[in-house]
Structure 1
Amino acid sequence: MKGILLLFIGQLINIIKYLFYDKTAWAPAILLLLILSCKKEMPVVAEQAERSADQRLKDSIYYYYKRYSLWTDSAALDDDSVFSFTDTYDSPSAVLNALKGMTPFHALYRGGIDRFSYLADAENGGKQSFGLFLSIGAVGEKKAYPVVYFVEGGSPADLAGIRRSDVVLSIDDNQDLGIPVTCSDAGCQVDEESVYQTVISRLLKAMAQPGMRIRIRHADAAESTIQLSSNRYAVNPVITHKVFSYPDKAIAYLALSSFEEASVGSINRSRLEQVFNSFEQQQVNDLIVDLRYNTGGDIRTVEYIANKVITEGGNRNLMFRFILNAYLKQHPQAGGNSFDDVYFRRNNHLNLNTVYFLVTDVTASAAELLINVLRPYMNVVIIAEHEGTYGKPVGFFKQEIMGKAALWAASFKLVNARGETDYWDGIGADQRNVVDNIFRDFGNMEESMVRAAVNHALGRTTSSTISSMVAKTILPLKGRISNVNVVREKEMLMRGLGN
C-alpha cells in the first residue's frame, strides 16, 4: 500500500510540474495522471519561484524543445538550469534560436544542423495572401519585367485567371515596372541597379497590401487588368495533370504544389483520385511528378500518393521508418502521433517503368520523402534546375504552448528501405542544370524540364546529354534574372493518427 501511495504522489508531482510550464494543460492533466509513467517529466518547481507569463513561455519552449528535438537526449531538468538559460534571452524566438545553435555544427549551414525548428502563432489560420509569386525576367534584349513563375491553387490570383508565364506590366495603374537590361549569350544583366531595386520595392509593397490592381500580358499576348484582394484560402495542390501520348508510350504528368491534407472524404483526396484514375484509364507507362515549388506538407498524403505509384515489386515492403530521440522512443504517442514503421499498401493498377521528378532548390521535406521512399523499388530519375533538392529529412508535429505559441521542433528523421536519410544538403539529381523556364506554363512541352523528362522517357537522349541539349535549345534572351518572393515552406508534418 505504501508503494502505491508513493507512486501516486510521484505522478501528482509530475502533473503539477506539467501545469507550471503550460497552463493550458489543466484538462488533459487528469488523464495524464492515469497514464504517465513514474519517470520524471518535469523538474521540481521551487515553491519560492514566481515566474511571469513571458518567462513561463520561454521556459516552456526550452522544456518542449529539450523533450522533442531530434538532437536532444537530456535527462531530468532542474529549475536553476532552465531559468538561468531562458532568462539570458529577451524573447521566445531568441531562446529557440539559441537552442538550435547548440545542435551539431553543419558546414554548409555555417551553424547548428537544426535550421528547421520554428515558432508560429497558436492560431494556425494562415496569413492572407494573393497566392502570387514573381520573378524578374528578361522579355527581350533590352527590357525585363516581373513574370509570374507560380500561382498557388485556390488563391485569389488563381481564381482571377493569372497563370505562370504571365508578364506584369503595371501595378495600381501608374507604375511602369520595366527594367533596362543588357543581354548576351551568357545571360542578361541589369543596367541600372537603382531602377531594379525600385521595382522590387514597389512589388513587395503592393503584395503586402490588402488589394492591388494589376495589368497582365498573357502568353497569347492578350492583356487584362485585374483587381486582386488578399485573402485566406484553401489550397488546391493539383496545379495541372495530363498525359502525353505517343504511338508506343503514354507519359503521365502531374504538377503538385504541396502535400495538403487528403484524408478519406476530403476534397483533396477526391482530386487526387480523379488524377490517378485518369492515368490508369489511359494506361500510362511513365510518370512525371513536377515538384519544383513543392516545399512539403502532410506525411499521410505522401503515403497515399506513394501507394498510388508503387509497383507490385514494392508492395508490402517497408516505405519508411522513424528515427527518434530517447524521449520519443519511450513516449511514442506524444502529440497524438504514431511512429510505427510504414509499409507500402499498393492502391493502383498502374505498371510504371520510370518515375521522373522535376525539382529545384526549394523542393523540400515531404516532397523529398516521396522521392526517397520510391527509390529502393522503382526506376527514379531526378531532373533539377541546379544540383538537386533543398535537403530536409526531418519532420515536425505541433506543440501548443499556453495558447500563445506553437512550437514546431524538428522531432524525427525518416529513413527509406535502403537506410538512406541524411540528405542534409539535398538529394542529388541525375540530370542537373536544366533551365526552369518561367515563360512556359506547367505541363507545356516547350518548357525545358518537362521536355527533358519526356525526351528521356522516349529514349531520344541519355541522362548525360540531356542538360547540354536543353541549354542549347533555350532562348538565352528570355530568362529569369531573380525572384521577387519565394514559396513559403510547408515542412513535413505529422497531424496525428488518421486516414
Structure 2
Amino acid sequence: MNNKFIKSICQLFLLSLLLISACKKDKSADEPKDEECGNTKQTATSDRVELTNDSIFLYAKQIYYWNDELPCYDQFEPRQYTSGSNLTKYENNLLAIAQSTQEKYDVYTYQDNSGNTLYTNKFSYIEDVSNANGISAGVKNLSSSVNLQGKGNDIGIYDISAYGPSDNDFELFIKAVSPGSPAAQAGLTRGTLITKIGSETIGDDWDTDIQSINLLFNDPSSVHLEGKKADSTAYSVNLEKKAYTSSPIYKDTILSISGKNIGYLAYARFSDSDNSEEALDDVFQKFSIKNIEDLVVDLRYNGGGYVTTAAYLANLIVPNGTSGTMFTEYYTQSLQDGQVDILKNQPVRNSKGDIVGTSTYADYDYTPNGQGNTTKFSKKGNLSGVKNIVFLVTANTASASELLINSLRAVPSLTVKLVGTTTYGKPVGFFPVRLEGIYDLYLPSFTTKNANNEGDYYKGFTPGDEISGKNMVDEMGQDLDNFSVYDFGDKKESYLAEALNQLGVNTTISTASRIMSIRSNQNNQNAPINLLKNKPEKKVFKGMIETRIGN
C-alpha cells in the first residue's frame, strides 16, 4: 500500500469524523430531516468504499441541484451499496440519490431487448480518471468514442443504422465516423454501407446478423468490414483499435445554392479550448470570406461538453454589435448561501483536471451575480453578419448544445430554427469533485437561463414547437436520420435538405422521395423500418461542465 493511498484514506477518515461532528452540532437550513431521523449510522470507518459512498451522498446534500429533496443520512444509508465493482457501487448510490427526488429529472428510464424496465442516471455520473485501463469511460476516457480533450481509442465508428422493409431485407449504414480514427483513415464516412462483418454477410437474416452487428457496439479490438462507401465505390478494410487525436468537426463546407452562400458545420462535441477553438476559428474564417449570412450547425450527435467552449462558439456566430447577457447560471441555494464546507476539500481544477492555485470550490461566489455566473456576449472572429441559423438536432443533442441553442434564440437580430427530433433535455450543469484521487463525481449543481429568462427545458426542444422548424419523424414516429445514406454536408441528406428549405432554398427533393430512393430499395414500395431502435446507448458524454473558475 503506497503512501499516497494511505494519505487519501486518512483524509477521508478525518472528513468522515468532521462531517459527523458537523451534522450533530451545526445543522444547515437545508437539512431539517437530519434532526428528525438522526445521523447515527455514519460511524467512524476506514473502509475506502464506505467512505466514498458517504462522500457521494454528503456532497449531494450540499451541491446536488435537488438537494433539498434528499432524505437524511440514516434514511438513505449510503453504505448499503456493496454489490459489483467499486464503480458500480458508486453508480448505484448515485441512481438512488436521483430516485429520491420528487420529479426525478435525473432518472432515465428505458426498455431492454427483453422488455424489462431499467433505470440509469440521466444527468449525474462518476468516472474513473486514473487511466489504468487506457481510454475507457467518461469525460477523460470515453468508451467507443472520443473524449473532451479530443482523444479516442477505438476503431472510430461512432454509430450505425439498420433498416429495410423486413428482417430478411435490410441495409446497415454508418451514421458517423470520428475524424482521425482508423475508420476515417480507411476512407469510411457517414453513409457508408456495410455488407459484411468478418465472414458474415449482412442484410438477409436479422436474427443471425445481429450477433455480428453487436460487435460494433462492443468496442472491438479489430474487425473486418466490406461494403460500399457513400460515393458507391467498394471497400474491404481491416480496422484495428488504436489511440488517436480527433478533430471535433465532422465536416464543414459552404453550399452555394440559388444565389446564396450557406455555411455548414457538423460539430461533434464541445471539447476543451485546445481541441476546439483553433478548429472553429478556421471554419468561421472561411465563412467570413464568403460573407455568410445563413448557417446550418449540425449538432445531432453532440452531447455537450465545456460551457466555455459553448460560449466561444456563440461569440463566433453572433453578428457584430451583439452585447448583453448570453446566459446566467443559477446554483443550488446552499451553494449560493455559502453552506458548502465540504467543498473546502476540493481544490479548483482546470479542464485537464490539474489543480490551479490554492483556492477550493468553497471559495467561489455562486450567486447569479457572482464572478462569471452571468456570461456576456463578446464577439469573436470576422464573420459579422449572420442573420439565420438552423440547428440540426436529435435525442443525442444535449446540454452544452442545448445551452448554445437556448442562448442564441434570445438574440433579437438572429432567426433560430430547429430541424430534427426532440433534444435530450439537460438544462443543468456541474463541475468535477475528485474522490479517492481517481474518481471524478459530477453532480448537477446549476441550471442556465438565457437573456429572456428561458430555461428549464427538461423535456428537450422539439423542432416546430417553442422553437420553429421541422420535426423529422415519419408516420410511424421513426427518426428520419436513421434512414439517411448521405455524408455530412451533402444537400441530398434529409436533415440538411430540410434545413435548406427552412432557409428558403428549394432542394426539389421531398423527404418521402429521399427515403424511397435508398440504393437497393429503390423499387421497394414498403416503408423502411428501423431495426436498431433498441440498440445499446452510445457511451458518449452528455453534459455541461463549468471550468471557468479553473482557467
Query: What is the TM-score when the length of structure 1 is the normalising length?
Result: 0.79
1:251 CA displacement:
0.9
Tell me the C-alpha RMSD between the 2 structures: 3.6
CA contact (8 A) 1:146 1:168 kept: yes
The one of 418, 424, 441 aligned to 2:487 = 441
The alignment status of 1:395 with 2:429, answered yes or no, reads: yes
1:40 CA displacement:
7.7
1-structure distance, mates of 2:280, 2:230: 28
Q: How does 1:395-434 map to 2 (within 5 A)?
A: 395-430=429-464, 431-433=470-472
1:248 CA displacement:
3.7
1:291 CA displacement:
0.8
1:45 CA displacement:
10
Which string of whole-angstrom CA distances, capped at 9 and with x for unpartnered residues, describes residues 278-326 of structure 1?
000011110000111111111111000000011245x221011111112
The alignment status of 1:119 with 2:126, answered yes or no, reads: yes
Name the aligned partner's letter for residue 422 of structure 1.
Answer: D
2-structure distance, mates of 1:84, 1:347: 48
**Which residue number corresponds to residue 203 of structure 1?**
213
1:444 CA displacement:
0.3
> Matched residue of 1:135: which SS?
strand
> Matched residue of 1:383: which SS?
strand
2-structure distance, mates of 1:392, 1:413: 9
Which string of whole-angstrom CA distances, capped at 9 and with x for unpartnered residues, describes residues 92-134 of structure 1?
2222111110112259967999631112113234444222121
1-structure distance, mates of 2:176, 2:536: 10
2-structure distance, mates of 1:103, 1:131: 38
Name the aligned partner's letter for residue 215 of structure 2.
Answer: K
Please identify, of 432-441 and 145-154, the stretch whose mean Cα deviation from structure 2 is larger: 432-441
1-structure distance, mates of 2:282, 2:472: 33
Structure 1 pair 260/39, CA: closer, same or farther in 2 (3 Å)? farther
> Matched residue of 2:67: which SS?
coil
The alignment status of 1:492 with 2:544, answered yes or no, reads: yes
The alignment status of 1:383 with 2:383, answered yes or no, reads: no
2-structure distance, mates of 1:335, 1:469: 55
> Matched residue of 1:419: which SS?
coil
1-structure distance, mates of 2:119, 2:488: 36
Q: How does 1:27-176 map to 2 (within 5 A)?
A: 49-73=44-68, 81=73, 85-90=77-82, 91-105=89-103, 115-123=122-130, 124-127=140-143, 128-132=153-157, 133-138=159-164, 143-172=169-198, 174-176=199-201
1:335 CA displacement:
6.0
| Unaligned 5+ runs, structure 2 | 1-8, 17-24, 83-88, 110-117, 131-139, 144-152, 349-360, 362-370, 465-469, 474-479, 522-527
Name the aligned partner's letter for residue 160 of structure 1.
Answer: A
Name the aligned partner's letter for residue 147 of structure 1.
Answer: F
Name the aligned partner's letter for residue 101 of structure 1.
Answer: Q
> Matched residue of 1:233: which SS?
strand
Which string of whole-angstrom CA distances, capped at 9 and with x for unpartnered residues, describes residues 380-439 of structure 1?
01111x3x2111111122111112422111111111111111111111212112532420
**Which residue number corresponds to residue 393 of structure 2?**
359
1:213 CA displacement:
1.7
Larger Rg: 1
> Matched residue of 1:449: which SS?
helix
Query: What is the TM-score when the length of structure 2 is the normalising length?
Result: 0.72
1:455 CA displacement:
2.3
Which string of whole-angstrom CA distances, capped at 9 and with x for unpartnered residues, describes residues 32-66 of structure 1?
xxxxxx98899999997234111111111111122
1:178 CA displacement:
1.9
Which string of whole-angstrom CA distances, capped at 9 and with x for unpartnered residues, describes residues 56-105 of structure 1?
11111111122221111489x98xx3597123332222221111101122
Structure 1 pair 139/441, CA: closer, same or farther in 2 (3 Å)? farther
Identity of aligned residues (%): 28
Which string of whole-angstrom CA distances, capped at 9 and with x for unpartnered residues, describes residues 227-285 of structure 1?
211233333111111111246421111110111112xxx35322111100000001111
Number of aligned residue pairs: 441
Please identify, of 213-222 and 119-128, the stretch whose mean Cα deviation from structure 2 is larger: 119-128
1-structure distance, mates of 2:76, 2:401: 40
2-structure distance, mates of 1:47, 1:59: 8
